[in-house]
Amino acid sequence: MSRATIRTLAAFATLAVVVAALPAFVNDFRAQQFAYVGVYLVALTGLNILTGYTGQISLGHGAFMAIGGYTTSILMIDHGVKDVATIPFALVVAGVAGVLFGLPAARLSGLYLALATFGIALATPALIKKFEGFTGGGAGVNLFGTPELTASLTPVRFLGLELNFNNWLYYLCWTVALVGYVVAWLILRGRTGRAFRAVRDSETAAVSSGISLTRTKVLAFGISAAYAGAAGSLFAITTTFVNPDTFPVTLSIFLLVGVVVSGLGSLKGLVAGAIFIQFMPLWSQHVSKSPGAPAVVYGTVLILLILVLPGGASGLIARLQHLTRR
Amino acid sequence: MNRKLMMTCVALVVALALGVTAAIAGTVRGGSDPGITDNSILLGGTAPLTGPASQYASVARGAEAYFKYLNATKGGINGRKITYKYADDAYNPAQSVPVTRQLVEQDKVFAIFNSLGTAHNVAVRPYLNAMKVPQLFVASGATTWGRDYAQYPYTIGFQPSYQAEGWVYGKYLSRTAPGAKVAVLFQNDDYGKDLLGGLKRGLQRSKVKVIAAQPYEVTSPDVASQIAKLKASGADTLAIFATPTFAIQAFQFANKLGWKPKHVINNAVASASTSMQIASSAGQNKLVNGTISIQFLKDPTDPKWKNDPAMKLYRTIMKKFAPSANVADPLHVYGMAAAWTASDALKKAGKDLTRESLRKTLDTFTATGNPFMLPGIAVKTAGKDHYPVEQMLLQKWQNNSWNSFGGLWGYRAS
């Protein structure tokens, strides 16, 4: 193993230890907020594969999260599938949707692709309302208290441990997030990852090296959407409620913001991006509640971040590494 | 490498240290129910401070101003000052859930008060009832709050239900316009369907018939084709059960088509004075004149209440405790009316206030004389009837403002 690999594994092990230990040190409710950080981490990992590594901008990942969330909810309510067991289904369904969308979208690039993906983000809530009999329409689906949900405020026994409700959600989301993180790293370090980066850097060069543009882009879409589907599934389980407004257009935009804050084309800063999505709106509200103020605070911080750290959190980490290694 | 390891350790220690203090801070108070001490009550709620419905945030601001006024002038309730902590959900039910949980589990509120939106409150209702946290005076007119009371005893609505409102329109038409043929435009969700259902109930055993009903989706661009179909049905009465944008469109399309129904009804949600003014296109759209709607609160723009002591008090409170807000916005009155009722309920629940005593108080509850509501309207629950406000006045749009007429209309759900 090369030194770089060892370093990555060590960093990952540290992250895993911190994640495992965190609930012991924060109060019950914070654990739940951090569970959402885990959910966003899953989505951001997928989006970074597509946008950061393959160079395809998506403004529609909220829609793939919706597909995952609704797959989970419908399986739980109509088919009596246990919540955890629905996650693989959500992943597959969203992944297939991603491939299907990727087939025509692979012909588009740059702004045109961004607009096409924005279109699915806009259309999804309306479609969910349209098929009311299947999706529950605007009234939504409430999962709280159903037998399929592992825990509704009750403690969970797991591997001989008794976890409270919020810690259970925390560990569930973070287990998926960390597994997803490692899988992403494995995908990206090999041949497939090189193909992704080649497409991003120059499509012409990639084609002349024997890379199929369509196949690579569709694959990236599929993988990325599968991540979003898993994230949507966890989102539904954690929130215990889905309706069309749960996956608004703004969710897709926030995900893109999260990826940029993390740093495009690097997995290092993703946790920071996920923390930003979860806590920045809460924090900006904390500053001021007068009309319009939270949005202004959020926007200002975002602009400052992009100005100061154009490479996002990953860029910052890389710079720090550079300093410490000297 | 060594230095990096050290830095990691320092970071870990700092993170853990911060976590430990937070954990200790979280376990201080004991005793009775959370959110209540001898001199304080903590209420929480969600409101759309940002996002597409942020104009509704005025409800929470109005309520907050009233509580502040109560604390400053009367020392709160039974010696307890009220803090109303409302947080943003961006009108997204997926955010209402974690925000409400935060209010309950982190901030340890005594009760959730006046959170806004139907789906938003439906999303947290099972949770709040499982936690036995009162979900007070939900800011939504859905019928479910009163109807499903037995299943969710800790939840109580506030304003007249959409069904009650529809029923009043039905009764009014059956008395004043026998033989009328009604065409209805309604939003294709619980809100529109509840209004339509109420209207049909009010029309039962009368000579008035609903001869056409056209739904529209919230996501549709306009209601032109619906209005054309309704006109073609040959109806002489138009009922609009739509949100403001679509209601304004309905008025404009009907006018363009040269349709002159004898009576027009516009439900309360869509009938704020501002949207009526837009619909009338500076008086050019004659169809708007004579439109009927309902009201249960005092409208701050209504000249009738100019010297009313309650509305004078309203303006004083707003000036002092919400100086940057727009006093003319009637949603502030809504918030104050709800806050007044909550204060009354908390007072009646007694000195030994608990979540349970509050729930019992609201089980059989009568509050008359709410100064922000129209005179004579009572907030009342008893037995199986858990619809707090069931009385309202009819009003007619004339000379560019609403004018109430007739006596109070009362509705019985059962």
pLDDT in tens, B269-284: 777 777 888 888 877 8
Task: Flag if A250 and B51 touch (Cβ within 8 Å).
Answer: yes
pLDDT score of B23 more than 90: no
Predicted local distance difference test score (pLDDT) of residue B413: 63
Mean of the per-residue pLDDT values for chain A?
89
Percent of chain A with pLDDT over 90: 51
* One-letter identity of residue B205: R
CB-based contact A96:A107 (threshold 8 Å)? no
Neighbouring residues of B24: CB distance < 8 A, sequence distance ≥ 6: none
Task: Flag if A138 and B119 touch (Cβ within 8 Å).
Answer: yes
pLDDT one-digit tens code per residue, A202-232:
999 999 999 999 999 999 999 999 999 999 9
Task: Average the pLDDT over each of A136-140, A317-321, B42-46, B151-155 and give the range with the smallest value.
Answer: A136-140
Contacts of A278-287 with CB under 8 Å at 24 or more apart are A278/A33, A278/A36, A278/A37, A278/A40, A279/A33, A279/A37, A281/B50, A281/B88, A281/B90, A285/B49, A285/B87, A285/B88
* One-letter identity of residue A176: V
Which residues of chain A neighbour B91 with C-beta distances below 8 Å?
245
Shortest CB distance from B12 goes to which of A18, A129, A145? A18
| Residue B412 distance to chain A (closest CA, Å) | 25
Neighbouring residues of B66: CB distance < 8 A, sequence distance ≥ 6: B317, B321, B335, B336, B339, B340, B343
Residue A137 near chain B (CB below 8 Å): yes
Which residues of chain B neighbour A277 with C-beta distances below 8 Å?
none
Going by their DSSP bridges, the two strands B111-113 and B135-136 should be labelled as parallel
Task: Flag if B127 and A250 touch (Cβ within 8 Å).
Answer: no
Which residues of chain A neighbour B7 with C-beta distances below 8 Å?
324
Task: Flag if A129 and B119 touch (Cβ within 8 Å).
Answer: no
* One-letter identity of residue A288: S
CB-based contact A229:A91 (threshold 8 Å)? yes
pLDDT score of A114 more than 60: yes
What average pLDDT does range B174-198 have in this prediction?
Answer: 91
| ipTM given for this complex | 0.77
Nearest CA in chain A to B23: A27
Predicted local distance difference test score (pLDDT) of residue B13: 34
- d(CA A220, CA A54) in angstroms, rounded, equals 7
Task: Flag if A30 and B106 touch (Cβ within 8 Å).
Answer: yes
Count of H-run helices and E-run strands, chain B: 13, 14
Predicted local distance difference test score (pLDDT) of residue B414: 54
* φ, ψ for residue B132, nearest 5 deg: 55, 40
- d(CA A46, CA A58) in angstroms, rounded, equals 11
Shortest CB distance from A138 goes to which of B20, B127, B189? B189
- d(CA B34, CA B109) in angstroms, rounded, equals 6
Task: Flag if B127 and A144 touch (Cβ within 8 Å).
Answer: yes
Which residues of chain B neighbour A291 with C-beta distances below 8 Å?
49, 54, 57, 324
First-to-last alpha carbon distance for chain A, in angstroms, is 23
Residue B206 near chain A (CB below 8 Å): no
Confidence grade of residue A67 (pLDDT, cut at 50, 70, 90): very high
Predicted local distance difference test score (pLDDT) of residue B14: 38
Shortest CB distance from B130 goes to which of A130, A145, A294? A145
Burial A175-206 (b: 16+ CB within 10 A, else e): bbbbebbeebbebbeeebbebbbbbbeebeeb
Confidence grade of residue B93 (pLDDT, cut at 50, 70, 90): confident
| Residue A97 distance to chain B (closest CA, Å) | 23
Which residues of chain B neighbour A30 with C-beta distances below 8 Å?
22, 106
Of the two residues B26 and B76, the one the predictor is more confident about is B76
Which residues of chain B neighbour A246 with C-beta distances below 8 Å?
92-94
Nearest CA in chain B to A27: B23
In sequence order, what DSSP letters do the residues of A226-259 get, joined into one string?
HHHHHHHHHHHHHH-EE-GGGS-HHHHHHHHHHH
Q: Look up residue A105 and give its two tokens.
A: 């979208």
Task: Average the pLDDT over each of A114-118, B53-57, B383-387 and give the range with the smallest value.
Answer: B53-57
Neighbour tally for B407: CB within 10 Å: 10
Shortest CB distance from A26 goes to which of B7, B19, B123? B19
Residue A86 near chain B (CB below 8 Å): no
- d(CA B216, CA B186) in angstroms, rounded, equals 6
- Residues A51, A55, A59, A61, CA torsion sign: negative
pLDDT one-digit tens code per residue, A258-278:
999 999 988 889 999 999 999
For testing the chain B interface, which of A70, A289, A317, A322 should be mutated: the one with the most B CBs within 10 Å?
Answer: A289
- d(CA B317, CA B312) in angstroms, rounded, equals 9
For chains A and B, CB pairs below 8 A equal 120
Residue B130 near chain A (CB below 8 Å): yes
In sequence order, what DSSP letters do the residues of B88-108 get, joined into one string?
E-TT-HHHHHHHHHIIIIIS-
Which residues of chain B neighbour A250 with C-beta distances below 8 Å?
51, 90, 92
| Residue A119 distance to chain B (closest CA, Å) | 14
pTM of the model: 0.81
Neighbour tally for B264: CB within 10 Å: 21
Task: Flag if A248 and B92 touch (Cβ within 8 Å).
Answer: yes
Task: Flag if A246 and B94 touch (Cβ within 8 Å).
Answer: yes
pLDDT one-digit tens code per residue, A42-56:
999 999 999 999 999
Q: Look up residue A270 and give its two tokens.
A: 């993703």
pLDDT score of B2 more than 60: no
Confidence grade of residue B31 (pLDDT, cut at 50, 70, 90): very low
Of the two residues A119 and A288, the one the predictor is more confident about is A119
Burial class (CB in 10 A: 0-12, 13-18, 19+), B399: exposed
Task: Flag if A26 and B22 touch (Cβ within 8 Å).
Answer: yes
Which residues of chain B neighbour A26 with C-beta distances below 8 Å?
19, 22-23
Residue B51 near chain A (CB below 8 Å): yes
pLDDT one-digit tens code per residue, A2-37:
888 888 888 889 989 998 888 888 887 888 899 999
* φ, ψ for residue B25, nearest 5 deg: -60, -25
pLDDT score of B136 more than 90: yes
Predicted local distance difference test score (pLDDT) of residue B54: 78
What average pLDDT does range B57-82 have in this prediction?
Answer: 94
Identify the helix (H) or strand (E) that includes residue B396.
strand B391-398
Confidence grade of residue A149 (pLDDT, cut at 50, 70, 90): confident
Predicted local distance difference test score (pLDDT) of residue B333: 93
Residue A127 near chain B (CB below 8 Å): no
* CA dist B317 → A145, A196, B61, B66, B321 (Å): 42, 61, 11, 7, 6
Shortest CB distance from A25 goes to which of B20, B105, B131? B20
What average pLDDT does range A299-309 have in this prediction?
Answer: 89
Neighbouring residues of B16: CB distance < 8 A, sequence distance ≥ 6: A21, A25
Predicted local distance difference test score (pLDDT) of residue B12: 36
Task: Flag if B97 and A142 touch (Cβ within 8 Å).
Answer: no
- d(CA B210, CA B236) in angstroms, rounded, equals 10
Neighbouring residues of A45: CB distance < 8 A, sequence distance ≥ 6: A177, A180, A181, A184, A227, A267, A270
Nearest CA in chain A to B6: A324
Q: Look up residue B282 and give its two tokens.
A: 């500076």
* One-letter identity of residue A102: G
Task: Flag if B87 and A285 touch (Cβ within 8 Å).
Answer: yes
Q: Look up residue A23 and give its two tokens.
A: 């609930």
pLDDT score of B25 more than 60: no
What average pLDDT does range B243-248 have in this prediction?
Answer: 86
Percent of chain B with pLDDT over 70: 92
Neighbouring residues of B313: CB distance < 8 A, sequence distance ≥ 6: B371
pLDDT score of B28 more than 60: no
pLDDT score of B310 more than 60: yes
Which residues of chain A neighbour B26 with C-beta distances below 8 Å?
27-28
Of the two residues A158 and A311, the one the predictor is more confident about is A311
* φ, ψ for residue A88, nearest 5 deg: -60, -40
Residue B9 near chain A (CB below 8 Å): no
Predicted local distance difference test score (pLDDT) of residue A290: 72
* φ, ψ for residue B229, nearest 5 deg: -65, -40
